[in-house]
Amino acid sequence: MELKNRRIVITGGTSGIGYQLVKQLFSDNELIVIARDQTKLNALREQFSGITTLKADLSKPNETKVVAEKIVNEYQYIDLLINNAAVQYCQLFIDDTFLTQHIIDEVNVNLTSVCLLTHQLLPTLLHQEKSIILNVNSGLALAPKTSSAVYCATKAALNNFSQSLRYQLAKTNIHVQQVFLPLVDTPMTAGRGVNKLSSEKAAEQILKGLETNTIEHALGKVKLLKLLLRIAPSFAKNMMKKY
């Protein structure tokens, strides 16, 4: 898809990879950005005049439904939905400090909101022209690490959801794509990991994948992970386990 004069809905556009996507898309496209923090949304609107911002806490299914309704009522069509917002909590189930609310928030933001937005925005994506749903995924969908079991589970579920949805929409104009990211330098990964991909580069490559219609797009080290999972699965899983 040529990324020019498109109407694009993007979740989590106020930070990290989502922010870079907004920065790189905004001059040529009409952007509708959903995020939770009103102050960050205001700053985004000031920096990129002309974008539309919608506040919604995607960990709350009711707020997700309301924001989707607003979009459906306001816009007849959308060309691209980028499901980018996510949260990751690094906590062990055995920890005394373990917070059960984090389980609910991770599942709701990373998975439930994607399913709800997809379902509710479907009428706006179904039209004569090609449209795309891009789900932003992680190498952790393919092989989990130790420190964030629920996050890894939501990303694995997102992977299956994306594939199944693709089967369901195969005869429509809607293309379901995924991008699998390696460790990227964003607020989500602050203070951990080395040799991280910059969020700017990650966004550039994500957009290239959209322009070249790459259905299952693995970036950077995820390409190597996929290869290792084929030729040496135990080694690959052990390598991921230590994080």
Ligand X SMILES: NC(=O)c1ccc[n+]([C@@H]2O[C@H](COP(=O)([O-])OP(=O)(O)OC[C@H]3O[C@@H](n4cnc5c(N)ncnc54)[C@H](OP(=O)(O)O)[C@@H]3O)[C@@H](O)[C@H]2O)c1
Q: By the criterion CB under 6 A, which residues form the site for ligand X?
A: 12-18, 35-37, 40, 56-59, 84-87, 109, 136, 138, 181, 183-184, 186-189
Residue placing its CB nearer to ligand X in the complex, 130 or 192 = 192
Q: How far is the CB of 97 from ligand X (least distance, A)?
A: 21
Instruction: Specify which residues 83 forms β-bridges with.
Output: 135
b or e along 17-39 (b: 16 or more beta carbons within 10 Å of the residue's beta carbon)?
bbbbbbbbbbeebbbbbbbbeee
Q: How far is the CB of 168 from ligand X (least distance, A)?
A: 22
CB of 16 to ligand X, least distance (A): 2
| Min separation Cβ 171 and ligand X, Å | 28
Nearer to ligand X, 86 or 174 (CB): 86
d(CA 44, CA 30): 14
CB nearer to ligand X: pick between 136 and 150: 136
Token code pair at residue 45: 């609107």
Compute the least distance from the CB of residue 207 to ligand X, in Å. Answer: 14
Nearer to ligand X, 142 or 184 (CB): 184
- Burial bucket for residue 106 (CB in 10 Å: 0-12, 13-18, 19+): buried
Cβ proximity to ligand X: between 13 and 29 the closer is 13
Sheet holding 131-138, edge to edge: 52-55, 30-35, 7-11, 80-83, 131-138, 174-181, 216-218
User: Least distance to ligand X from the beta carbon of 129, Å?
Assistant: 26
- Whose Cβ is closer to ligand X: residue 122's or residue 180's? 180
Q: Show the CA angle centred on residue 208, arms to residues 167 and 7, nearest 5°.
A: 70
Backbone phi, psi, residue 91, to 5°: -150, 145
The residue at minimum Cβ distance from ligand X is 16
Rounded CA-CA distance 10/29 in Å is: 12
> Residue 94 or 190: which CB sits closer to ligand X?
190
CB of 188 to ligand X, least distance (A): 3
DSSP 24-61: HHTTTSEEEEEES-HHHHHHHHHHSTT-EEEE--TTSH
Rounded Cα–Cα distance for residues 137 and 158 (Å): 7
